[in-house]
Amino acid sequence: MQPSQLSSGDITADRRADYAKMLDEGGEPAAAAELMEQALELAPAWAAGWFRLGSYREKAGEKEGAAAAYRKVVEFDASDVFGAGLKLALLGEAATPDQPPSRYVERLFDDYADHFETSLVEKLDYSVPRKLADLVSATGQHYRLAVDLGCGTGLLGPEIRSRVDRLEGFDLSQNMLAKAAEKQVYDHLAVADLSLDADASGLFAGHAAHRADLITAADVLMYLGNLENTFALVATLAAPDATFAFSVEDAGSPEGFHLAPSLRYAHSEAHVRGLCDRHGFDIVEIRRSTIRKDGGKPVAGILFLTRRTA
């Protein structure tokens, strides 16, 4: 649920917030912020309201005021479901976090599930599942067990189903998993948090390690930031000689990773190469490609095909 859909519990505050939203949509963010301030006087602990105020102030060019509002969001919602900490980092008011809050990512995709495929495929020219499946197909292998990390609504599943005996999908969002289940191509679907360690992630609940000979992560790693823990999870999941195929948004520089204005993380090729080296994956092939559009502009990505060192 978006911040604008969350009630403060005060009818008058909600009404003023609704008017503020109308002003913002009409191109008057400064006026929207002023009215939102009035709403928050009536509901001072309303985290979603503070996030909206931060957004209006940011649009109006009030950087310090926006940062103050985002700090209030974190004060009243320690789980940071709205990603205010990421906003503070982009404003230069906080260090870039290694990971986004799990609750933020979960809410983002729970809200997005119903129109995810329409928005991505039809409007944003999203093409990673097909391109990643082409990389996997180029190996000429048939796989015993494929694990699709961050499977979302299951866009990659149908693309690789014919090449695997068993297909498992994991995602942080229950709503996304429900959509994936409708496709009836996955043998097993479950919740997993790739930002956590092996014991807490959910990937190994009832399952042994080193079991998958194909692991995929299509358009997932940009929601994880620091990938050390994720690569450690994949290394634990991977059988000897396993294939790991994944995509990242291209940072466009040799330096590590950074948080983009989209609130997604971009990673450099050199950074990913270092991760592969440290966690026992040999790079078989790299392809650069436009992976989607954002604000009408192409988003550059890098697709990797790697193999676990036996």
* Whole-angstrom distance, CA of residue 172 vs CA of residue 201: 10
Instruction: Report the CATH number at residue 174.
Output: 3.40.50.150
Same domain, 147 and 294: yes
Q: Is the pLDDT of residue 4 over 70?
A: no
* Whole-angstrom distance, CA of residue 240 vs CA of residue 250: 28
* Whole-angstrom distance, CA of residue 133 vs CA of residue 128: 8
For 126-136, the pLDDT digits (tens) are 889 999 999 99
Structural domain including 298 reads 110-308
Confidence band (pLDDT; 50, 70, 90) for 120? low
Task: State residue 186 phi and psi, 5-degree precision.
Answer: -95, 135
Confidence band (pLDDT; 50, 70, 90) for 113? confident
* Whole-angstrom distance, CA of residue 113 vs CA of residue 47: 23
Q: Which of 95, 123, 141 is the last residue of a domain?
A: 95
Same domain, 74 and 218: no
Confidence band (pLDDT; 50, 70, 90) for 213? very high
Instruction: Report the CATH number at residue 46.
Output: 1.25.40.10
> Would 105 be classed as within a structural domain?
no
Q: What is the dihedral of CA 191, 193, 199, 202, to 10 degrees?
A: 10
* Whole-angstrom distance, CA of residue 63 vs CA of residue 55: 10
* Whole-angstrom distance, CA of residue 4 vs CA of residue 66: 17
With beta carbons less than 8 A apart as the criterion, state whether 106 and 173 touch.
yes
Q: Quick one: how far is CA 137 from the chain centroid?
A: 25
Which is nearest to 202 in space by CA: 173, 165, 241, 242? 173
> Would 104 be classed as within a structural domain?
no
> Would 101 be classed as within a structural domain?
no
State the amino acid at position 232 in one-letter form: A
| Domain count across the chain | 2
Same domain, 127 and 218: yes
Same domain, 263 and 291: yes
Q: What is the pLDDT of residue 122?
A: 63
Residues 6+ apart with CB under 8 A from 30: 56, 60, 62
> Would 221 be classed as within a structural domain?
yes
Q: What is the pLDDT of residue 1?
A: 46
170 forms beta bridges with 149, 190
Q: Which of 68, 95, 122 is the last residue of a domain?
A: 95
| pTM score | 0.90
Same domain, 167 and 272: yes
Same domain, 129 and 169: yes
Q: Which of 71, 95, 119 is the last residue of a domain?
A: 95
